[in-house]
Structures are given as C-alpha cells and as structure tokens.
Amino acid sequence: MKTRSQLSIKGVLFQAISQSSPLIITKPSHRIRLGFLALAVTVILLLLAGVSVSPATAMTIQYSFTGTVNQVTPRLSSTFSTSPISSAMSGFMTVNTTDTNPLNANIGSYTVTNFSLNIGGYTATMGTSGNIEVRNGPPGNDQFNVTVNAPNGPTVSSLAPRIFEIQLRGPNSLFTSDALPASSPSITSFTNRNLWRLVFGAGTNRTVSGVITAVTAVAVVPLPPAVILFGTALVALVSLGAGNWKQRRKIPHH
C-alpha cells in the first residue's frame, strides 16, 4: 500500500505537468525543457513505485567496540604491550539479523559479514567466517559470544592470527529472547564474564587479550535493489537530457 506522503508527492508532480502542458506548443527550447521534465518525472514516479512495492533486503546491525589489553604472551610482546602503556583495542563488526538457528528458541546464531580490529596499530580484517551467538538463559548464563575465524592480518613472530573472540556473560535478566540486540548492550551488566582475545598460531597459549569497555550498536536497513536501480537510471537520464538540451541550444533558430 502506498503511503500518504508518496501519494501527495505524486499528486504534486502530476499537477506540475498538467499546469505546464499548455506551454509545450511554444518555443522549441520550451518543448525541450518540458520534454526533459516529463522524462525526469516519469523516472521519479517509477522510483517512488519501487519504494512502495520492493521489499527491503535483510537488516544488519553494526557493532562498534573498544577494550583494554590486560595480557600478552611473551612471543607476541614485540607487537602488543600492557606496560608502561597498554595497547588500545577497538573495532567494529557488521552482523546479519537473520537467525541461522531458528529451531532453537534460546540460542540465536547470526552471521558476521564484515569485521575490522585494531590493537595498538595492529590491524586485522574479516576472516574466513564469523558468527555471533546469543544465549537467553538458563539463569545466570545469558551470553553474547563473537567468533571470527582466521582474521586477515599480518603475522607476529611468524604466527598468523587464528581466531578472534568476544565472550560476555551475565545474569538471565539481560536478554528477553535470543534475538540479536538492536541496542547497545550494557557492558557493566555482564558480571559473569567479560573477555576478548586474539589467538595466534595453533593452541590457545599465544594470545593478546583483555576486557571489553564499551559496545555501541547501529541498525542499518539497506535500500531495496529496485530503488538503487531506478536511482541509477534517473542519474543517467538526467545526464542524457542535459546533454541533449545543450546541443539543441547551440542550433540556430530562424
């Protein structure tokens, strides 16, 4: 169903065309301009129609996070440090809100589609795969777990980054369902566990790790494909019409 705003916009556009139509029989330059206007209005109406009938693609949520570095294993100390100044940690991840584990009402699983991490100047990006698991209960065990496998980053002491994890756990009052949180989780509420770590090489004893200090969430709804297509067509038609109008103006009229 079309919204009232869409209908009012279309009504104004049609009224503008109808009011301009008596001028079409005047000078050639007027005919060119009004023809170009009609073409642009047609594409705009198609664009509005695309908005009203095209479903949006899956919504995503972007989480930005910060943390401190509390522990660095000796083999990684050439790149990361806890003293005299601790390395700062920050990053973001984009997550699809579609639950890939719909049969379990207490455990939601969501795909990480983009990822970036910075630890004191060391940067890693999206790896082979990523996932967020949201657990709603049992009591005392609400969880928000992040896993990014094989992050794309430089080696440290000949060791490649193998896995990045965030583990947040708290009382069962944190989540009311297994849905991906659309608002920023309160870090202070995760009293049972607060840990992030980047593991290098085989095993788990070559890590840089710490605690999460803040998480912010921003929901993003992508434009429907039809809107992007019509928007591209509108730009192309406007450019074409402007070019034709300039060429016609150069032609002398007798």
- The pTM (predicted TM-score) of the whole model is 0.67
Residues 79 and 122 sit within 8 Å (Cβ to Cβ) = yes
pLDDT tens per residue across span 217-247: 988 765 555 544 555 555 555 555 555 555 6
More confident residue, 138 or 1: 138
Phi then psi for 85, rounded to 5 degrees? -120, 125
Shared domain check, 239 and 215: no
Mark whether 50 and 65 lie in a shared domain.
Answer: no
Residue 99 reports pLDDT greater than 90: yes
Same domain, 47 and 96: no
Burial letters for 177-206: b for 16+ Cβ neighbours within 10 Å, e otherwise? ebebbeeebebeebeeebbbebbbbeeeeb
* Same domain as 121, residue 90: yes
For residues 155 and 101, membership in a common domain is answered with: yes
**CB under 8 Å to 8, separation ≥6 — which residues?**
none
Structural domain containing residue 31: 4-56+223-250
pLDDT computed for residue 4 by the predictor: 45
- 199 and 238 housed in the same domain: no
C-alpha angle 167-169-171 in degrees, rounded to nearest 5: 175
Distances (CA, A) of 131 to 91, 115, 144, 175, 250: 15, 11, 11, 18, 60
